[in-house]
Amino acid sequence: MHAPEPRLAPDVLADEMSVLLHDGEAAAVPPGALRQRLFARVARSAAAARRLHTRRHADMAAETLADGVAARELYRAPPLTLRPGEPQRSRLIELAPGGRWVCEPVCTQREWLVLTGVVALGETTLQTHDFLLQPAGAGPTALHSEAGAQLLLREAPPQTGARALLQRAADASWDDYGPGIERRVMWQHEGQAAMLYRTEAGAAVPRHGHRHDEECLMLAGDIFLDEVLLRPLDYQLAPAGTHHDSVSTDTGLLLYAHGDLDLDLQPP
């Protein structure tokens, strides 16, 4: 009996470099030139990544806000003029069972998304994936969770005419957005929006630009933003004016995004 022929691993690069490395054309390329092209590609990838703000959940230090309440900072804007759609601050707020915290009034618009658990936010009880927008000028907000909860808190400049908005996950609608992709729009204003995406395994989005800053917070699954892999509670902010060549998931995902309501699709 003959042993079966070994199978070659699938070509995960599928680009011009892998072709050069795997067929006879490689012999026609001087080693020095191939080395230069490889280094040039790595340099381009590193330069693109430096324009993005990526935070790994495992590397986020916890700041104590009160007994049983901690915050992990995702992003804080420098004290300069904000880009279109740039948040002033985004944080994960974590309440242990019985945790209480009073969020003091500020002159920013606040968006709350419950990631896990049940929390009383003022007189409103929020369940997992409920969304609440508080316009600038809202008073102090007391948070309490009997069993523990985790929330996203996004603070941004005031929006003209903004009103309080509560969207219950149980009542929200999901729209077909693309092959294997559904989207839930929680809030929108002048071309930007707060959204949830859920996808099947293998779903992908083509090259697109960003008219507004685009925030992505992984809730479940994984995603490749170009060559950067995000896993649950990892975060990335892509500034306005940047682009993503490709976005894809091997596992399927649930993702929070804050950015363009309509993608600025661009040719490859």
Tens of pLDDT, residue by residue over 180-207, are: 999 999 999 999 999 999 999 999 999 9
Distance CA(119)–CA(78), nearest Å, equals 31
Radius of gyration of the chain (CA): 22
For the chain, give every residue range classified as CATH 2.60.120.10: 79-166, 173-265
Contact 219, 254 (CB under 8 A): yes
* Higher pLDDT among residues 14 and 61, named by residue: 61
| Buried-exposed string 149-165: b where 16+ CB fall within 10 A, e elsewhere | bbbbbbbbeeeeebeee
pTM of the entire structure? 0.83
Run of H or E including 183: strand 181-189
- CA 48 to chain centroid: 17
- 7 pLDDT more than 50: no
Nearest to 225 by CA among 240, 212, 211, 208: 208
Place of tokens 């002159």: 107
Does the domain at residues 173-265 carry the CATH identifier 3.90.1150.10? no
The per-residue pLDDT for range 144-184, each reduced to its tens digit, is 999 999 999 999 998 888 899 999 999 999 999 999 999 99
For the chain, the helix, strand and coil percentages under 3-state DSSP, each to the nearest 5: 15, 45, 40
CATH node for 79-166: 2.60.120.10
The backbone region for 20, taken as left when phi is positive above 0, alpha when psi lies in -120 to 50, beta otherwise, is: alpha
Take residue 103 and report the two structure tokens written for it. 């969020």
* Higher pLDDT among residues 159 and 212, named by residue: 212
Take residue 265 and report the two structure tokens written for it. 């699709």
- 261 pLDDT more than 60: yes
The per-residue pLDDT for range 62-84, each reduced to its tens digit, is 999 999 999 999 999 998 889 99
